[in-house]
Amino acid sequence: MSITKVLVANRGEIAVRVIRACREQGIASVAVFSEADREALHVLMADEAYPIGPPAPVESYLAIDKLVRVAKAAGADAVHPGYGFLAENAAFAEACAAAGLVFVGPPPQAIRALGDKTAARRIARGLGVPTVPGTFEPVAGDAVRAAARAIGYPLMIKATLGGGGKGMRAVHAEGELEAALGLARSEAAWAFGEGAVYLERLLAEPRHIEVQVLADAHGRVVHLGERECSIQRRHQKLVEESPSPFVDDAMRARLGEAACRIATAAGYVNAGTVEFLVDSDRNFYFLEMNTRLQVEHPVTEMVTGIDLVREQLRIAAGDALGFAQGDVTLRGTAIECRINAEDPFAGWMPSPGTITGLRAATGPWVRDDSGAYEGYTVPRFYDTLLAKLVVWGADRPAAIQRMTRALAEYKVVGIRTTIPVLAQIVRHEDFRAGRLSTGFLDRVMPTFAAAKDRARSIAVIAAVLAEYERLGHRTIVEASPPPSDAWRTGRHPGWR
């Protein structure tokens, strides 16, 4: 089967990422956009772009009928869902198939078996893979309080569908349960169109480690190593790396084997990620499987040399994987920092607005996956992710130093971003020593507060300079040239 045109059913940096992969393979791309995204980068980059409705996701990016109708009208033969929105929605995959469109992702039955987190937990339990204590069915009504008491506090309320930290709330005492339940359900319904939730024991500061898998329709399933995703805020990842500084070869083999068994049992095809919580003794517990491409997939690409979106498209076209497990080699270390339009010193409040100045980091082994540009207005309706800054180094210290340099170069003017906190994270002694857990940011964030005023002062100065230059002002400093032989003799007066 040949894929010639792909509708990208998403927005922002992931839509740009998919469009680029299509273009490299000679595949035409079709973008869709809400009224808030008319001037978004993915719209400007695609070969074709079509409006799909108002800003509210339920009327645009979650509207299955509109997406399928546009795909057919544009002559697309495939649909790539990206991540979030409808990426883990079995009904969307079924609607694509019914319309004769190839869904670039797993089959609907695998999405139902694994995209529903409680169903995935049942699969893992049946395979003997340890799971975090909790419910194996969605909970509602009077059963919620009884299940919570049986599990014990603290616990997590989690959406059965979707991911990205949405529809999740920590509950530390019974008195918090009802309010947290309402918030989790409403957030899940808004983000994924489904408000069902389940309960899970809240483990004390584990590591969050996930395994990337690829599976074709010919029975081959391989894993591409693990990613360390422990640095999170509000259950959303902020910094990721591959490989994990905590995982040794023996543990990597065990994690990979468990991940591949779960994927095989569910009849999985395409790219997916199996997530685990890991304690200090290297015991791991199955958390969930994300039946889609992950936000943090670039770090795996950097250490394996495998283009995951290209593989997704090849597998969707019916091609077999061109490599076996023994061919997968991890080289060096890759780190990803998520640059969000948020103010980390004001409760991580979103910071929509117009980007009046932008200078992305560049240089050797630096990658910027971005959906932003200078002059772009960040809308208030969607996820705050602007860009993913990714670096590679021959070893972890080299990668950390490269990220430190890259974050110092990255400048965004006009809105607040997470860059100041990211810069402090990669400089922190615990991060450099690999002492990580899901409680890392809560533990160190108070120590970052001292940098708040300085970061904001720098932002104000940068904004003033950007406006000064925009209005056409230039300052030229004239000085006498150095003696004619200064550079040759090393006697330049500025040298010490």
Strand 411-413 and strand 377-378: the pairing is unpaired
Q: Which of 226-230, 327-331, 405-409, 482-486 has the lowest mean pLDDT?
A: 482-486
Strand partners, 350: 342
Q: pLDDT grade, residue 91 (50/70/90)?
A: very high
Closest-CA residue to 194 (of 161, 163, 227, 166): 161
Residue 124 CB-half CA count within 13 A = 26
- The residue among 249, 243, 173, 248 whose CA lies nearest residue 210 is 243
pTM of the model: 0.86
Dihedral (CA of 78, 80, 85, 87) sign: positive
Q: How far is CA 278 from the centre of its chain?
A: 20
Task: Tell me the average pLDDT across 471-475.
Answer: 48
Query: Is pLDDT of 279 > 50?
Result: yes
State residue 464's pLDDT score. Answer: 56
Which of the following is catalytic: 292, 314, 367, 416?
292
The model's confidence at residue 471, banded by pLDDT at 50, 70 and 90, is low
CB 93 within 8 A of CB 224: no
pLDDT at 462: 57
Using pLDDT thresholds of 50, 70 and 90, give the confidence band for residue 485. Answer: very low
Is 292 one of the annotated active-site residues of the chain?
yes
Spatial distance between the Cα atoms of 205 and 277, rounded to a whole number of angstroms: 9
What percent of the chain has pLDDT above 90?
82
pLDDT band at 194; cut points 50, 70, 90: confident
Averaged pLDDT, 256-266? 97
Pair of tokens at residue 355: 């980007």
Tell me how far CA of residue 440 lies from CA of 155, 168, 204, 383, 436, in angstroms.
Answer: 19, 18, 11, 23, 6
Provide the mean pLDDT of the chain.
Answer: 91
Domains of the chain: 5-104 (3.40.50.20), 133-201 (3.30.1490.20), 207-454 (3.30.470.20)
pLDDT tens per residue across span 451-468: 565 555 555 565 555 555
Q: Please name which of 280, 265, 249, 254 lies closest in space to residue 130, comparing C-alpha atoms.
A: 254
Give the model's confidence band at 389: pLDDT under 50 very low, under 70 low, under 90 confident, else very high: very high
Residues 6+ apart with CB under 8 A from 260: 213, 221, 222, 223
Whole-number Cα distances in Å, 202 to 8, 82, 169, 175, 273: 36, 29, 10, 16, 21
